[in-house]
């Protein structure tokens, strides 16, 4: 096996014996085979003019299946690959030769991998959007283009152009998902979220898919079961169409990498709608459920019908059987038993744009930081907690994705009635951050790079890759990236990214803050 697609890759070089994430060599090899088959299908459909919703879905769901912490099940990956092969054969495609993905000139492997990993990230967003009924021909079309270009030879300059084009398409994809989410469930509003667990039956929902959560909420109404979000599902509480359910009771635990500890002996089922799933521990294995592209050998899976409607009866009955905690339970051992606040997506922040602009003009806000991205187990991720703690009182912190669990329980106070930490949502809500930055730039009559705004990002998996490429394609400069630079970015490519975009690795919180605020 060879895999270096995520931040925790072995030695920051590559997993070759087994994945640090728990991925076995057989699974890694099957995922590579699936990617090769997706390339063949994309080429066949393009050559024969046979693109359809069915082939779009195979490409996006296939890519999503291979994303980090999504699917560890060899049998599920094999079954998916067989569907892809069948479709290609039905479209009259042969066994098109596919390039060896991880071999060749270092910079070329790096650029090819960057595009492939970005495509995997965009596949996740296109998948969620489609689940809510929104597709876009240009976005779908780029899966065919991207996959076939990966299989071709390009100069460094051509690769860079492809990657920037991809970044712009992914912006469109994130915009589409934002529309899909808000059309289905309304514009998020600031919402306080409880982190203690009430007595009685409950279900924990993890991952990013709002429609799965919505279906489960509807099916558990009036049944005496509480629903708790986990990890990246936390921002769901801000959506009017979801928060209307009184039994959407709170948030369980923290970010994904703590699940093996936090789910220990949990008296409730846990549903994984997407990443990040980790190898189970015995004490809660039987309580786990997966759905959609998520999979793990021997873990119960809920399949939807062709319209994505799902029957969650097995989970509901399981929750009633387990009964939950006997008494209300303070989770202070897990996350301090704090109230968390979410729901500051672009709709709310821009509704308060006057306040923000006034605060910047009057000097009450001197700097805005976007500290967001993925969480993970790497010890260096403490940087983000320390960074946020050390930001000056006259700064605002926009945040998004699961990396916020590093600091979303810290009370940083308010400026002019606005909390200093504003949770914009999941990783895909990076779109919200871009919208806000663009609106501020317009209000101040300058470019985004001239704003008193700095992006300090944490990355882990491939959705972070597509977001980073979008930010770069929009010309956003001076982004700080950590906790480590991606292993798949070669020295040569890193040099280009630093020279052209000022992309820089994080150093130490104080040192970076001093540099950003011009204090040295």
Q: Which residues bind ligand FS2 (CB under 6 A)?
A: 231-232, 256, 275-276, 374-375, 401-402, 426-427, 460-461, 463
Report the residue number, 193 or 225, with the smaller CB distance to ligand FS2. Answer: 193
Our CB check for ligand FS2 shows the closer of 144 and 228 to be 228
Taking the complex as a whole, the smallest distance from the CB of residue 378 to ligand SF4 amounts, in Å, to: 11
Burial string for 85-107 (b: 16+ CB within 10 Å, else e) reads bebbeebebeebebeebeeeeeb
Q: Which residue of 11, 12, 23, 317 would you call a contact of ligand SF4, by CB under 6 A?
A: 23
Nearest residue (CB) to ligand SF4, 375 versus 512: 375
- Using CB under 6 A as the binding rule, whether residue 110 contacts ligand SF4 is answered as no
Selection from ligand FS2, ligand SF4, none that 231 binds (CB < 5 to 8 A by kind) is: ligand FS2
- The answer to whether 446 is a known ligand-binding residue is no
Q: Known binder of ligand: residue 3? A: yes
What residues are paired with 325 via a beta bridge? 200
Contacts of 176 (CB under 8 A, 6+ apart): 125, 126, 129, 134, 135, 136, 139
33-92 residues in contact with ligand SF4 (CB under 6 A) are 68
Going by the DSSP 8-state scheme, the letter that residue 238 receives in this structure is G
- The listed partner (ligand SF4, ligand FS2, none) that binds 429, CB under 5 to 8 Å by sort, is none
One of 15, 98, 176, 476 touching ligand SF4 (CB under 6 A): 15
- Do residues 233 and 405 lie in contact, with contact meaning Cβ atoms separated by under 8 Å? no
From ligand FS2, ligand SF4, none, interface partner of 374 (C-beta below 5 to 8 A by class): ligand FS2
**To the nearest whole angstrom, how small is the minimum distance from the Cβ of residue 340 to ligand FS2?**
16
Cβ–Cβ under 8 Å, residues 120 and 72: no
Exposed/middle/buried for residue 396 (C-beta within 10 Å: 0-12, 13-18, 19+) = buried
Q: Least separation, in Å, of the C-beta of 69 and ligand FS2?
A: 6
How far is Cα 277 from Cα 285, in angstroms, rounded to an integer? 12
Name residues whose C-beta falls within 8 Å of residue 79's C-beta, 6 or more positions apart in sequence.
none
Q: What beta strand segments (E) does 128-261 contain?
A: 191-193, 202-206, 226-229, 248-251
- What is the nearest approach in angstroms of ligand FS2 to the Cβ of residue 402? 3
DSSP string, 258-269: GHHHHTTT-SS-
Cis (ω within 30 of 0) for the bond into 276? yes
6 annotated as ligand-binding: yes
- The reply to whether 173 sits in an annotated binding site is no
Q: By three-state DSSP, how is residue 186 classified?
A: coil
Of the pair 256, 387, the CB lying nearest ligand FS2 is at 256
What is the phi-psi region of residue 201: left when phi exceeds 0, alpha when psi lies from -120 to 50, beta otherwise? beta
Nearer to ligand FS2, 55 or 257 (CB): 257
Of ligand SF4, ligand FS2, none, which one does residue 343 interact with (CB within 5 to 8 Å by kind)? none
Based on DSSP, count helices (H) and strands (E) in the chain, helices before strands: 19, 16
Helical segments of 67-136, H only: 74-90, 106-131
Q: Does 276 bind ligand SF4 (CB under 6 A)?
A: no
Q: How far is the CB of 67 from ligand SF4 (least distance, A)?
A: 8
Which residues of this protein are in contact with ligand SF4, per CB under 6 A? 3-6, 8-9, 15, 19-21, 23, 28, 68
Binding site feature residues for hybrid [4Fe-2O-2S] cluster: 208, 232, 276, 374, 402, 427, 461, 463
């Amino acid at each position: 096996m060879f895999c270096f697609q995520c931040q925790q890759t072995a030695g920051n070089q590559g997993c070759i014996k087994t994945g640090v994430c728990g991925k076995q060599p057989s699974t890694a090899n099957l995922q590579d085979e699936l990617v090769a088959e997706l390339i063949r299908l994309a080429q066949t459909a393009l050559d024969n003019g046979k693109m359809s919703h069915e082939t779009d879905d195979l490409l996006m769901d296939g890519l999503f299946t291979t994303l980090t912490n999504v699917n560890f099940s060899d049998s599920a990956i094999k079954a998916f690959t067989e569907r892809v092969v069948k479709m290609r054969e039905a479209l009259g495609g042969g066994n098109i030769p596919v390039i060896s993905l991880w071999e060749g000139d270092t910079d070329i492997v790096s650029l090819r991998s960057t595009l492939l990993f970005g495509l995997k990230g965009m596949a996740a967003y296109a998948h969620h959007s489609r689940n809510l009924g929104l597709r876009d021909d240009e976005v779908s079309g780029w899966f065919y283009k991207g996959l076939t270009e990966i299989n071709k030879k390009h100069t460094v300059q051509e690769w860079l152009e492809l990657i920037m084009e991809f970044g712009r398409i992914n912006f469109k994809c994130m915009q589409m998902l934002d529309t899909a989410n808000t059309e289905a469930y309304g514009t998020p509003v600031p919402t306080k979220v409880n982190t203690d667990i009430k007595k009685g039956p409950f279900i924990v929902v993890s991952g990013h898919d709002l429609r799965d959560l919505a279906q489960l909420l509807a099916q558990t109404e009036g049944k005496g079961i509480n629903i708790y979000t986990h990890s990246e599902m936390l921002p769901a509480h801000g959506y009017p169409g979801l928060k209307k359910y009184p039994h959407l009771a709170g948030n369980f635990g923290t970010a994904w990498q703590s699940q093996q500890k936090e789910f220990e002996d949990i008296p409730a089922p846990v549903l994984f709608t997407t990443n990040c799933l980790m190898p189970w521990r015995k004490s809660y294995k039987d309580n786990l459920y997966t759905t959609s592209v998520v999979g793990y050998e021997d873990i119960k899976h809920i399949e939807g019908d062709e319209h994505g409607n799902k029957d969650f009866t097995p989970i509901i009955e399981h929750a009633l059987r387990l009964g939950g905690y006997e008494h209300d339970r303070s989770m202070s051992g897990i996350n301090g038993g704090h109230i968390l606040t979410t729901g500051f997506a672009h709709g709310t922040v821009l509704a308060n744009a006057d306040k923000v602009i006034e605060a910047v003009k009057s000097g009450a806000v001197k700097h805005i930081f976007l500290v967001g991205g993925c969480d993970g187990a790497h010890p260096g991720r403490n940087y983000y907690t320390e960074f946020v703690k050390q930001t000056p009182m006259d700064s605002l912190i926009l945040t998004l994705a699961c990396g916020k669990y590093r600091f979303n329980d810290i009370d940083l106070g308010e400026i002019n009635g606005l909390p200093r930490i504003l949770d914009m949502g999941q990783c895909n809500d990076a779109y919200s951050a871009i919208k806000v930055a663009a609106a501020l730039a317009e209000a101040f009559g300058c470019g985004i790079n001239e704003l008193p705004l700095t992006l300090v990002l944490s990355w882990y998996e491939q959705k972070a890759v597509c977001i980073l490429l979008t930010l770069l394609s929009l010309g956003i400069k001076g982004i700080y990236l950590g906790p480590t630079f991606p292993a798949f970015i070669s020295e040569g490519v890193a040099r280009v990214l630093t020279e052209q975009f000022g992309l820089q690795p994080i150093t130490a919180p104080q040192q970076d803050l001093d540099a950003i605020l011009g204090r040295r």
